[in-house]
Structure 1
Amino acid sequence: MSRGDAADAATLAPDDAFAVLANETRFEIVRALWELYEPDDPANVVKFADLYDGDTAVTFSELYDRVGYGDTGNFNYHIEQLTDHFVRRTDSGYELTEAGFEIARAVIAGTVSERPSIDTAEIDATCPRCDAPVVVSYENHHVKVSCSQCLGIWQNAAGDEGVLFTFAFPPAGLSHRTPDEAFHATLAYNFNRIRSFIHGVCPDCSSVVEGSLDICEPHEPGGRGGCPDCHRRHRIEVSTVCNRCKSVARGPLTIAIFAHPTLISFLHDHGAVHHFASWETFHLAQTVSEDVVDTDPVRIRLTVPCDDDRLQLTLDESLEVVDAITKLSVDG
């Protein structure tokens, strides 16, 4: 089968996919093809686009020797079980399909084999609420960032413990990074995922995502921590969910609007260097005020201060900006 035949590959049901990969030999074939793959080869850069004549597939004999299986007949059977789903056959041999690459990446990234951790460490960042030093830790594939003094942005139901944020982060991201570097890498990784969700595309499977707003009606955050009803300091939270692969992004609406071109233009006009996937964005988001103007239809006004000016954005339920006003004085 040539590379152009990829679209003809049969779709594999989830249960069948797990069954195929449960066999140790088949999984070793996927791993071997991953290890033999050369990403710098120009033919692999546009691997499935037929723009190069080169065929970089691995021959049967090379793959057989690599895996170290003792029976060529059975080995061929295992390859056939993978073919069209996780492995593609070309004129020269075998290579991974995109699904095969995803399986290999999951293992290489350590999401199913490693349990690294970071002991709680103070980093070079200050809390957007009280300016105290920020501390970071890593456990169960999540980076937890907290204030060393206050209860942060989200609190538990008892109101006695809180965080600034908790984000998923693949274990491989900790390699060769200090706690400070892991902190900034976590923000870049997750904010870029959030940007994809905002644009309606699941960053994991590319499916359509559905968004909704969670508005806390009796919102009354206390001086020490969050609201006793929603356990957070921000009143409005946006949730985007992929119903196909179940990926989800959830967080303050104030962060989501920092990817909007109207706001980016406003900050640029005021000489502010704005990088969405950054700690600065998280900091700036905490300065934004939020008001529910109407509930039928939903209208939410967010006010963003910058120097002596402020930008008022009115959003509908789908997060579309329906009105934008720049005021020249915070006090005006």
Structure 2
Amino acid sequence: MAAETDENSSTLSPEAAFAVLGNETRFTILQTLWELYEPDDPANVVKFSDLYDSEDTVTFSDLYDRVGYGDSGNFNYHLEKLVGHFVRRTEDGYELTQAGLEIAQAVIAGTVRECPSIDTATIDEGCPRCGAPIVSDYENHHLAVSCSRCSGIWQDSTGENGVLFTLPFPPTGLSGRTAEEAFHATLAYNLNRIRSFIDGVCPNCSSAVEESLDVCTTHEPGDEGGCPRCNRQHAIEVSEICRQCKTVARGPLTIAILAAPVVTAFYYDHGVEHRFASWETFRRAQTVDEEILETDPLRVRLTVTVEGDTLRLTLDETLNVVDIVRGTSNSAQ
């Protein structure tokens, strides 16, 4: 396979990318190349490295016939607009670049052929606060899970309690899954993305991310609802933002801290296999104690307890762990 030329290494601004893709014929070309893309081809594992010979390339005439465009000259004009960023031209023909593949995958993730859905269902897991059955509902590409009895963890914008979490989940993820399987898949999907954010890498575009804390310094959650100031049970939330593609994640610090290796090791020392991307992480996060030690500079302490033993982690405003103390639950503070 021919090596890439300069035309295949160009970059586009967001405005230029939208302009290139804002044409039905060009998008049909990407869709056609995606339909011919073979994920089993080993060349696609390390795409464009020339370690393997790709079998995904399509000749101009074959691509022209498959798209069904009536004017070969005008078709070539649209194809050339894609070459360099979304489509790669080789000696053997044309294939998707990584950017072209990701555009197609994003469309496939958000649109489905059969519009799968799930009805409101009771999940065979107990609420981490009161143990009552939890209920899931899917709407607007989000899975919402709430407690059937208690006030949950959040109070939503309408003032209703009971919310445990509402997380995005592409509709394609519902295909072939029961309500309970979709529940666990939603957590795995989102917690894996959150772990990437915690590592400083946007899970969508790989850019660096900004991390900050939202601390409710007058936190007073009630038994029948969230704090009147922040509408939540937890006092400290982490905000993760990618300024490049505007992907965002936000959630309790008590969840984020469970991705720390020292916490995983602490659980392991007590015979507990801690998998971060799971319902167990969400459940365990509700048992982590949080305490604001100082506000200027900010210092917060999170305490993880297992079988009477404690792991106390002190964090600064940048979420760096500045102190670690292991002891028993009745040890001196």
TM more than 0.5: yes
In the TM superposition, residue 68 of structure 1 has moved relative to its aligned partner by 1.3
After TM superposition, list the pairs within 5 Å mapping 1:180-329 onto structure 2: 180-329=180-329
SS of the residue 2:290 aligns to: strand
Q: CA RMSD in A?
A: 1.9
Matched, 1:156 2:156: yes
Which position in structure 1 is the counterpart of 2:10? 10
> Which 5+ residue runs of structure 1 have no aligned equivalent?
none
After TM superposition, list the pairs within 5 Å mapping 1:4-153 onto structure 2: 4-5=4-5, 9-54=9-54, 56-111=56-111, 116-153=116-153
- After superposition, the C-alpha distances for 1:186-231 in whole angstroms (9 at most, x for unaligned) are 0000001000111111101111101111110111001111101000
- After superposition, the C-alpha distances for 1:245-274 in whole angstroms (9 at most, x for unaligned) are 111110000000001011111110011111
SS of the residue 1:4 aligns to: coil
The worse-fitting range, judged by mean Cα deviation, of 194-203 and 109-118 is 109-118
SS of the residue 1:155 aligns to: coil
Q: State the distance in 2 between where 1:314 and 1:102 align.
A: 39
In the TM superposition, residue 164 of structure 1 has moved relative to its aligned partner by 0.2
In the TM superposition, residue 167 of structure 1 has moved relative to its aligned partner by 0.5
Counterpart AA for 2:222: G
In the TM superposition, residue 31 of structure 1 has moved relative to its aligned partner by 0.5
The worse-fitting range, judged by mean Cα deviation, of 1-10 and 267-276 is 1-10
Q: State the distance in 2 between where 1:235 and 1:112 align.
A: 39
8 and 82 in structure 1: CA distance in 2 versus 1, 3 angstrom threshold: closer
149 and 29 in structure 1: CA distance in 2 versus 1, 3 angstrom threshold: same
The answer to whether the Cα contact below 8 Å between 2:8 and 2:85 also exists between their aligned partners in 1 is no
> Which 5+ residue runs of structure 2 have no aligned equivalent?
none
Matched, 1:173 2:173: yes
The worse-fitting range, judged by mean Cα deviation, of 271-280 and 67-76 is 67-76
Q: State the distance in 1 between where 2:260 and 2:141 align.
A: 30
SS of the residue 1:303 aligns to: strand
In the TM superposition, residue 9 of structure 1 has moved relative to its aligned partner by 2.6
SS of the residue 2:193 aligns to: helix
SS of the residue 1:118 aligns to: coil
SS of the residue 2:110 aligns to: coil
SS of the residue 2:255 aligns to: helix
The answer to whether the Cα contact below 8 Å between 1:107 and 1:113 also exists between their aligned partners in 2 is no
* TM-score, reference length from structure 2: 0.94
The aligned length equals 332
Counterpart AA for 2:59: T
The answer to whether the Cα contact below 8 Å between 2:8 and 2:83 also exists between their aligned partners in 1 is no
139 and 302 in structure 1: CA distance in 2 versus 1, 3 angstrom threshold: same
* TM-score, reference length from structure 1: 0.95
SS of the residue 1:191 aligns to: helix
SS of the residue 1:154 aligns to: coil
The answer to whether the Cα contact below 8 Å between 1:2 and 1:89 also exists between their aligned partners in 2 is no
Q: State the distance in 1 between where 2:160 and 2:269 align.
A: 41
The answer to whether the Cα contact below 8 Å between 2:47 and 2:98 also exists between their aligned partners in 1 is no
6 and 152 in structure 1: CA distance in 2 versus 1, 3 angstrom threshold: farther
Q: State the distance in 2 between where 1:288 and 1:147 align.
A: 19
Q: State the distance in 1 between where 2:61 and 2:187 align.
A: 45
148 and 32 in structure 1: CA distance in 2 versus 1, 3 angstrom threshold: same
Q: State the distance in 1 between where 2:210 and 2:57 align.
A: 39
Q: State the distance in 1 between where 2:54 and 2:166 align.
A: 45
157 and 177 in structure 1: CA distance in 2 versus 1, 3 angstrom threshold: closer
Counterpart AA for 1:26: R
The answer to whether the Cα contact below 8 Å between 2:123 and 2:180 also exists between their aligned partners in 1 is yes
In the TM superposition, residue 130 of structure 1 has moved relative to its aligned partner by 0.8
In the TM superposition, residue 116 of structure 1 has moved relative to its aligned partner by 4.7
150 and 6 in structure 1: CA distance in 2 versus 1, 3 angstrom threshold: farther
In the TM superposition, residue 321 of structure 1 has moved relative to its aligned partner by 1.1
- After superposition, the C-alpha distances for 1:59-114 in whole angstroms (9 at most, x for unaligned) are 11111121111221111111111111211100100001111111111221235988
SS of the residue 1:173 aligns to: helix
In the TM superposition, residue 6 of structure 1 has moved relative to its aligned partner by 6.6
Q: State the distance in 2 between where 1:161 and 1:111 align.
A: 31
